[in-house]
Amino acid sequence: MHCDLYNAAIANRRTQYKHFGHSVDYFEQQNCLPEFKKVWTEYAELGSHTLQATLKRVDFTYKRFFKGLGKYPKFKAKRRYSGWTYPDKASWKALSNGPNGYLELRDLGLKIQMRGQARTWGTPTTCTIFFRNGLWYASITVQCNPTRQTGTGSIGIDLGCKDAVTLSTGEKIAKPDFIKEGHKKVKVASKRLRRKRPPNRNKKVKGSRRWKKERKQLSKVQSKIARQREDWLHKVTSDIVSGNSLIGGEQLNVKGMTRKAKKGKRKKQKAGLNRSILDVGFGLVGDLLTYKSAEAGGFYVESPTRMLKPTQRCAKCWELTPKSLADRVHVCSNPDCGHTEDRDINAAQVNEIWARGLERTSLDAELPSSTDCGSMKQLGARKRQKQRLQQSKSL
């Protein structure tokens, strides 16, 4: 019913603009709901606020389209419509204080037992029911003040494909084994799916019963891998935040890094690199560390990668040493430094130094963390010149 309302709202906006040149907004469609219920009497059983939330979804998609952030809104099939939302507690109630409890949906006459325990509970505000891979879920928004425990230390991190997370202390966190095992299962399930008859709209051919069955199995395997990866990233980031109040990372353009290879390039190698980047979850790590550090009262700072170049900069003298992906050890090109360190550990240390705002280049004054790389390079040269003068005086 919510899917039909969603499609009807889109059809109303298209028809009004195409034939009458009138742009329909959310408030106009909201005011039409009483008359809509008189014609479609089955909608009278649903709460008005849930129907208004569905109309807000339509309005949100149009606003994204006009801002250039999304495509033109389309009609949705029932099998692709995710669910509906209760924007207030008029039609639902959470009978819980945190540990387990029950969820009551009054318009459906259901009372469902909750699974699991919330880390921080508060006053429930909204509830969204959605469908994923053959299962129904309830997402409850709670108004609360979450808190976390953290330490007083600082640390830098570097994300990579060989080792998922490298810390400035020298510790390396490898990719879990379930990712590699999951890819094998996905490959086998995809091969079985290709052997079945897929749907073809142009030829008016429906997918076979076996194709639909295998498609569900493939979705089930992919969903499990996604949940395992998210659970692993939550544990890793929580462990990092629990011991450090200042965390230094780097800005990563994941969309650009995982872009397809250009014509004539080695597409298979680039596809494998893209898969390795997405397996680690480069984009999700920063988001998790940001909100978890805020809950703990700490800070997560991302260094400007293009300007700072952590993988090429030396953590001791701040000199740039160009490297390729095959170079796994950092050897400083500065003859007065000669610092040798693992490539990823050195990059993590550079991110930590940038986050702390420590100047590696001046012995007298401390520079702010917003110092650009050009000035840091000049100050590095001044520091080496000062050291040479001190050595010459001592001789």
* Secondary structure of the chain as H, E, C letters: CHHHHHHHHHHHHHHHHHHHCCCCCHHHHHHCHHHHHHHCHHHHHCCHHHHHHHHHHHHHHHHHHHCCCCCCCCCCCHHHCCEEEECCCCCEEEECCCECCEEEECCCCEEEECCCECCCCCEEEEEEEEEECCEEEEEEEEECCCCCCCCCEEEEEEECCCCCEEECCCCEECCCHHHHHHHHHHHHHHHHHHCCCCCECCCCECCCHHHHHHHHHHHHHHHHHHHHHHHHHHHHHHHHHHHEEEEEEECCCHHHHCCCCCCCCCHHHHHHHHHHHHHHCHHHHHHHHHHHHHHHCCEEEEECHHHHCCCCECCCCCCECCCCCCCCEEECCCCCCCCEEEHHHHHHHHHHHHHHCCCCCCCCCCCCCCCCHHHHHHHHHHHHHHHHHHHHHHC
The total number of structural domains in the chain stands at: 3
231 shares a domain with 164: yes
172 shares a domain with 298: yes
Q: Does 213 reside within a domain?
A: yes
300 shares a domain with 157: yes
Q: Does 379 reside within a domain?
A: no
167 shares a domain with 295: yes
Percent of the chain residues topping a pLDDT of 70: 90
Look at residue 371 in the predicted model and tell me its pLDDT: 40
Look at residue 283 in the predicted model and tell me its pLDDT: 86
Of the three residues 275, 306, 337, the one that is the final residue of a domain is: 306
157 shares a domain with 301: yes
147-170 residue pLDDT tens: 888 888 889 999 988 889 999 999
Q: Does 74 reside within a domain?
A: yes
Of the three residues 281, 306, 331, the one that is the final residue of a domain is: 306
166 shares a domain with 46: no
- Domain of residue 93: give its range: 87-143
Q: Does 19 reside within a domain?
A: yes
Look at residue 389 in the predicted model and tell me its pLDDT: 54
Q: pTM score, two decimals?
A: 0.78
Q: Does 54 reside within a domain?
A: yes
Look at residue 375 in the predicted model and tell me its pLDDT: 43
Look at residue 356 in the predicted model and tell me its pLDDT: 84
175 shares a domain with 132: no
276 shares a domain with 229: yes
Look at residue 133 in the predicted model and tell me its pLDDT: 80
318-328 residue pLDDT tens: 888 888 888 88
Question: Which residues of the chain carry a pLDDT beneath 70?
Answer: 264-265, 358-395
